[in-house]
Structure 1
Amino acid sequence: MAHAHRVCRSPDPLVVAALFPLAAGMIGWPEGALGEASLSGQTGFVHMPSARIQPEGTWSIGSSNAEPYFAGWSSVSLFPRFEFSARYTRIDNLSPGFEDQAYGDYKDKAFDAKIVLAPESTFLPQIAVGAQDFTGTRLFAARYLAISKRAGRFDWGLGYGEERIDGWFGGVRYRPPGLRRLGLVFEYDATRYAEDYQASTSGALDREGGATYGIEYRSGWFGGQVSYQSGEVGANLYVTVPLNRREFIPKIDEPPPFARAAPAGPPLEQWLQDPGAQHGLRRALEAEGFRAVELSAGDRSLEVRLSHPRISVIGRAVGRAARVLLALGPSDLQSLRIVYTLNDLPVLTYVFDDLAHLDRFLAGGTDAPSMEDTVRIAFASPEAATDFRGLADLIPPRGEGGGLEARYGEDGHALLLRSENPSGSHFTVVPFNVRFFFNDPSGAFHYDSYAGLDYARRLHRGWFLLGGARLTLFEDVSDVTQPSDSLLPHVRSDIAEYLGEGGPVRLDRLLLNRYHYPAEQLYARWSAGYYEEMYGGLGVQFLYLPTDSAWAADLAVDALRQRAPGEVFAFRDYSTVTALASLHYRVPRYGVTATTRLGRFLARDDGVRLELKRRFRSGVEMGGWYSWTDAEDITGPGQPGDPFRDKGLFLSIPLRSMLTRDTRERANFSLVDFTRDVAQMVQSPGDLYRQFELARHFDDGEHNPFMDFRK
């Protein structure tokens, strides 16, 4: 069996990792926090859990060691009373059973959950129930009930468990006065070590549990604990991130908004006769970073269609565009319309009919509620660009590009080379990318480092040519020696061949995308070409996006053929048609989105995939998925009557939360069985729902079209 923790997109994961200490040093930790991570990652004492969970939106990631177990773990308080944890444990001295010993000692993954049934009150304790390792191999399975009560500087806990936690357990944490970063811990460990998996071989048989002592230290995001039990020393080191903070680092390098240097331009009639004035307006918008700028003018009205590839909040982008238009547009305008676009699809339309009020608002002379009464904000429709009758198109967008520019520390990369033009086309070279793969039978850890090239050209409104290539630098994925024994078509299980065969230079994708909006609230994308490293073909996606609704639906149909590993343009004999209907439902108040995908997957298996994710105020997204199809994947640990089901976890981090300037780039990670063939999907050439979701912040209950408008 194989698992992968992959860096799926371009931001350099080493740079992303380096940003955490910088952010951590600037943020303190709430003094009222009672719980700390146990060795398993669940909030607790040392080995034992407690009824505590971390504050909502708290994400912890760490590593612990207590012989014979070494674990990497992650835990998150997804909701006010719910904590979810995952860990990956190495069991010392225990063979994995594979012929290839490069895999090392036996390893197992586990998932834990805890629910608070009743919060603590003045007289009553907090009550919680939990489960450890509740799915999969269940080597560390346990269920428990726990209570916790604070008394002064002491936090007491008591509980009762079954399975691996056998009977009563408890503990206490004490924080000395004047030493708020320090904690002392005592617990009674009720773990039944003698019945652990192959305990006599691993050495767990020698552990007795019982009295355990610990000392812990917390500073900002960083924490650690050292423990002692019956002659054995344990350790736990972790980083804790408050995901519900809007930003971790001030935007000190964000360019300031456009500043008016002269009075407004001439009247509209005179302005229309002055190409220099029109050129000046367009150049000013492009200098602010706007792309695909299109200008039209009518009866004392000015309309602009534009997009901004860097600014993450539409309100901020539109506010900055409005400043430029008021400063350099005609002086006698009565109406201003700004259509914000995404791949030339209109997303939001802002219509300002009181420009004097708009000018005062941008200067800080009036408040947001009064401003909202003078503007009309409409969601996109096919008529968005033609509502003004008799508009005269002005100077068309420029297509010339600039030179290749080196950028350091931008968008999560240590270094990138980029050339772009005002139409939105760009050419980008990232000298270093890396992906990691964990738990393949041929080795517990594999890496793939490469230089990436990305090309995007806007051919015409709605038409885009996309390309991507890579130059392999260093990798050991080609060392994977065990062929797939899957009985299904090898739609993903041969991935090692694609990463290891052929020369160092490979074409990842080359395709044509066409975006358009055939009807109100309906968007469409047509694609043809090489979608990704394993598949090429042609397909279509339709997205129905009701206005001001909590749900949306899309249909994606792709006729695909599997590419030949090691070849640039050749294909294998395998071809298929995938068809997936998706329903998305959002609960913005909690940042939750649930998605159901129903249809045919890559291996011609029919079924359903359920996805659930939570978006926090920082923009970080965490979620997972689980699939059922009619395919019988009985490769281990699947077996007849109990086939393997595709499942996984993912994490998406907006880099703007950790950088000193705004960006739309994200770092994406996933924990997934990467050599499985059941319930697999092709990589979308441009998923419509995801694009609109990120642009309009669907799952952010605090977001509105005027957010950051004056920034």
Structure 2
Amino acid sequence: MPETVKSHLRYMCFLCCWTAAAIALSAGAQADGISSYGTPGLIDMPSATATRDGTLSWTTSLLPDHTRNSLHFQITPRLSGVFRYSILRGYDQNEDRFDRSFDVHYLMREESAQFPALAIGLRDFGGTGLFASEYLVASKHFLDSRLTVSGGIGWGRLGSFGRFSNPLGVIDDRFDTRPGPIRDINETGRVSFNHFFRGDAALFGGIEYQASERLRLAVEYSSDAYTEEVKRMGFEHRTPLNFGLDYRATKNLTFKAFVIGGAQAGFGLTYVIDPRAPQFPGGIERNTPALMPQADIVALGWKAGDIDSSRSRLSRALKVQGLDLESYAESDTTARVVLANPTYPNIAEALGRAARVMANTLPAALSTFEITLAVEGMPTSSSTFRRADLHTLETAWDGSWQSFVRADIADAPTRLAPDAGSYPRLNWALTPYYSTEFFDPDNPLRIDFGAQASLHYTLAPGVSLTAVVRQKAFGTLDQSTRLSDSVLPHVRSDAALYDKFSGPRISILTADYLFRPASALYGRLSAGYFEAMFAGVSGELLWYPQGSRLALGAELNYLGQRDPESRLGLTDYRVASGHLSAYYDFGQGYRGEIDAGRYLAKDWGATISFDREFDNGFRVGAFFTLTDVSFDDFGEGSFDKGIRLSIPISWLSGEPGRGALSQTVRPIQRDGGARVEIANRLYEQVRGTNESEMQNQWGKFWR
């Protein structure tokens, strides 16, 4: 018998003995872990398991001269994705390698009583190819799910130890050969379809055992030989057996320790965030007063037609609830109002509070309440409630659903004239800010901190002036010394030059007009300094009927590039850009967007975005852009792509608020596929007040 076969049999016998020993023990939790790559798995090897739907997890794994940082998101119950940033010291002829990669893992079938779960995955399919591999893996639970046994076959890096000829070669001989690794930096970032499931393959497997509620043990037979690390970094690989343990310190935080290849000790941690579990699940906003009995309202003697008194009472009561009354009128038995909602991210909650306040402060003769919501003074939707329904449903077990069914929600292309004193209106804030730059090979993370003064002056409904001024306090963004080598106009790749500007910097200075051209249509006209790098004029039109999942938009801009050495000056670069956009709500919080048109570098193409948004506003998304700029001309990364995360302030604090902490992460920022940043694009401004959106969040109507 060949020595290599004997060696593999010895390893397999060891795993079988370990399994038998684990079965003889007992514990009480499910043995499903997160691998050192941040994906569901054992130690290095993947498994056919999944994390809880919708959860985010951050994993840092530390080996000698090798660090992996992975962000994993369970996109659907079966599909997950990973963005990874790895640092390998001395990998490139004593130079460090800073590597960015993407993974995808799909649970093809769930486990049944007779059959294991089955998963397929791609590791590092859109990066440099350093970890590039594909796998097919099966997993089965035993002992009330305390023991998980996994086994699979891998290709690429996962086919480097104990490898054999690719069994897929019987289908097509092209599977027998795998192209060589990427050598040119300009070829990185592409999806290498011609590598998938090609070349030699190898088997892997392992066992996970939940020894207690907190302690998980794992042993695996790894098909990763760490070939390049051994050759380039002096990494020792003595055996394919890896050993590890996890200790769950809290419900969110798990510490890890493991041994790779019989010689390399590693440590790590995983931190899990569940977007559906805010820090204050019920929120800590003030309570709304209970509805007063009708007899009590009658006894107060308020008279319909006394507009000034009713308006005054209503305005004060709404202000206590964080809502602004812009207009008030009465018609027969109907009270009509226009409201601004600066407080509640959940529009249904704002409507519910407004309706109850109206019931408690307006004359009993007014039996119907019509509430028009306004965004920057522009009317968006009108919701009509009957006073009797509010009293009937306030304590009903299905009061939320019934109140939605009985409400009349319609488009509001027009609005009441604003009451005296409603305009002009000034809002200002002085807050800290931070600005980041990721993945510069000289410094993977640069960040600035400072103070930001923002002013918003609304002259009339839909007409406003906005200014944002920043003053850096300290940071490292100005320390970048890398110069752009882009062959395209430097619309983004010169960003480091703008970070070197000293003194107060005007980030935004715009005049905006939001208006309603017709039913189901929204319009925007803007002029000024839109962002740090571009100024100009912009126009937008959005078609978005009430209750529709589909919205269509068109935007046209004429822009000049700002001078990095001047507060308000422009360079000679001018560009006409614009896009046609389609937005679609797939339901269950999934949203898609396509923007096709001309970009800042005068390239033509389209951006495809996909987001998952939870009812509390927590959002995770990804995007990519393909234009007529070739991969070679684009440069490193080949095309624009990235992930984005938005965490509502209310998710963290429990206090109601419309703000959010948002971050977009790109593997690299280049000039192709770049779009001007405009703060108040219409879809995001108005979608919260659309019936289709409110229906999803109506559960907070009685909050």
Q: TM-score range by the shorter chain?
A: 0.7 to 0.9
d(CA) in 2 for partners of 1:490 and 1:96? 31
> Which amino acid counterpart does residue 696 of structure 2 have in structure 1?
H
Higher helix share: 2
Query: C-alpha displacement at 1:137, in angstroms?
Result: 1.1
Deviates more, 1:598-607 or 1:657-666: 657-666
Q: Which of 202, 207, 213 is residue 172 of structure 1 equivalent to?
A: 207
1:126-205 map, 5 Å:
126-152=117-143, 153-166=146-159, 167-176=202-211, 179-196=212-229, 199-204=230-235
The answer to whether the Cα contact below 8 Å between 2:381 and 2:412 also exists between their aligned partners in 1 is no
Equivalent-residue separation in structure 2 for 1:209 and 1:424 (angstroms)? 71
- Bigger Rg over Cα: 2
Q: Does 1:56 align with 2:91?
A: no
Task: Return the offset for 1:676.
Answer: 0.9
Deviation (angstroms), 1:663? 1.8
State the distance in 1 between where 2:470 and 2:565 align: 13
What is aligned with 1:504? 503
| Structure-2 residue corresponding to 1:549 | 548
1:139 positional shift: 0.9
* Equivalent position SS for 1:349: strand
Aligned match of 1:326 = 359
How big is the shift at 1:221? 0.8
Match of 1:426 in 2: 427
**Distance 1:697-1:138 versus aligned 2 partners, 3 A rule:** farther
Structure 1: how far apart are the matches of 2:634 and 2:545?
Answer: 43
- Structure-2 residue corresponding to 1:436: 436
User: What's the offset of the Cα at 1:555?
Assistant: 0.6
Paired with 1:636 and 1:679, the residues of 2 have a C-alpha distance of 9
Instruction: Please report how far the alpha carbon of residue 505 of structure 1 lies from its aligned counterpart in structure 2 after TM superposition.
Output: 0.6
What secondary structure does 1:707 align onto?
helix
- Distance verdict in 2 for CA 1:227–1:617, change over 3 Å: farther
**Correspondences of 1:542-691 after superposition (within 5 Å):** 542-589=541-588, 591-632=589-630, 634=632, 637-638=635-636, 644-673=638-667, 675-691=669-685
Q: Displacement of 1:243 after TM fit?
A: 2.8
Q: What SS does the corresponding residue of 2:281 show, helix, strand or coil?
A: coil
SS at match of 2:525: strand
Contact 1:278 1:394 in 2 (8 A): no
Name the CA distance, whole Å, in 2 between partners of 1:369 and 1:644: 49
Contact 2:550 2:583 (8 Å CA) reproduced: yes
**Deviation, structure 1 residue 164:** 0.6
- Aligned residue for 1:282, secondary structure, equals helix
Indicate whether 1:240 and 2:272 are aligned: yes
Gaps of 5+ in 2: 1-27, 160-201
Partner of 2:113: 122
Q: TM-score, structure 1 length as denominator?
A: 0.83
Aligned partner of residue 224 in structure 2, secondary structure: coil
SS at match of 1:565: coil
Residue 376 of structure 1 deviates from its aligned partner by 1.5
For residues 241 and 313 of structure 2, what CA distance do their matches in structure 1 show? Answer: 76
Cα distance change of structure 1 residues 601 and 32 upon mapping to structure 2, 3 Å threshold: farther
The residue that corresponds to 2:175 in the other structure is: none
Equivalent of 1:294 in 317, 324, 327? 327
Question: Which piece of structure 1 moves more, 629-638 or 503-512?
Answer: 629-638
User: Could you report, residue by residue, the CA deviation over 1:45-79 in whole angstroms, capped at 9, with x for unpaired residues?
Assistant: 11111111112112111211123421111111111
Shift, 1:210, TM fit: 1.1
- State the 1:398 CA deviation: 3.9
Answer yes or no: is the 8 Å Cα contact 1:607–1:679 preserved in 2: yes
Shift of 1:297: 1.6
The CA deviation at 1:666 is 1.3
Q: Is the 8 A contact 1:118 1:126 kept in 2?
A: yes
Within 1, Cα distance between the matches of 2:152 and 2:141? Answer: 15
The one-letter code of the counterpart of 2:561 is: Q
Match of 1:307 among 340, 348, 351: 340
- Whether the 8 Å contact between 1:426 and 1:457 is mirrored in structure 2 is yes
8 Å Cα contact 1:278/1:395 also seen in 2: no
Distance 1:342 1:485 in 2: 43
Offset at residue 534 of structure 1 (A): 1.0
- Kindly state the Cα deviation for residue 251 of structure 1 after the two structures are TM-superposed: 4.1
SS at match of 1:286: helix
Q: Which amino acid aligns with 1:626?
A: F
Q: Could you say which residue in structure 1 is the equivalent of 2:62?
A: 65
What is the match of residue 281 of structure 2? 250
Aligned match of 1:214 in 244, 255, 279? 244
Q: Give distance in 2, aligned partners of 1:164 and 1:665.
A: 44
Alignment of 1:381-420 (within 5 A): 381-383=412-414, 385=415, 395-398=419-422
1:359 is aligned to: 391
Q: Does 1:263 align with 2:297?
A: yes
- Amino acid aligned to 2:604: D
Instruction: Letter of the 1:157 partner, please give it.
Output: S
Q: CA deviation at 1:260?
A: 6.5
Q: Distance in 1 between matches of 2:343 and 2:675?
A: 29
Q: Secondary structure at the match of 1:61?
A: strand
Whole-Å Cα distance in 2 between the matches of residues 84 and 252 of structure 1? 30
Q: Check conservation: 1:271, 1:330, Cα contact below 8 A.
A: no
Alpha-carbon separation, structure 1, partners of 2:36 and 2:345: 38
Match of 2:311 in 1: 278
Q: Distance in 2 between matches of 1:524 and 1:346?
A: 11
C-alpha distance in 2, partners of 1:679/1:636? 9
Q: Say which SS state the counterpart of residue 316 (structure 1) adopts.
A: helix
Q: Indicate the structure whose relative CO is greater, using CA pairs within 8 Å and at least 6 residues apart.
A: 1
One of 98, 102, 112 as aligned partner of 1:107: 98
Aligned equivalents of 2:343, 2:311: Cα separation in 1 = 24
The alignment covers a number of residue pairs equal to 626
**CA distance 1:467–1:517, shift in 2 (3 Å):** same
Tell me if the contact between 1:68 and 1:203 (Cα under 8 Å) persists in the aligned partners.
no
1:441-467 superposed Cα distances (whole Å, 9 cap, x missing partner): 443221111110111011001101111
Larger CA deviation: 473-482 vs 483-492 = 473-482
1:588–1:699 contact (8 Å) kept in structure 2: no
Q: 1:57–1:79: 8 Å Cα contact kept in structure 2?
A: yes
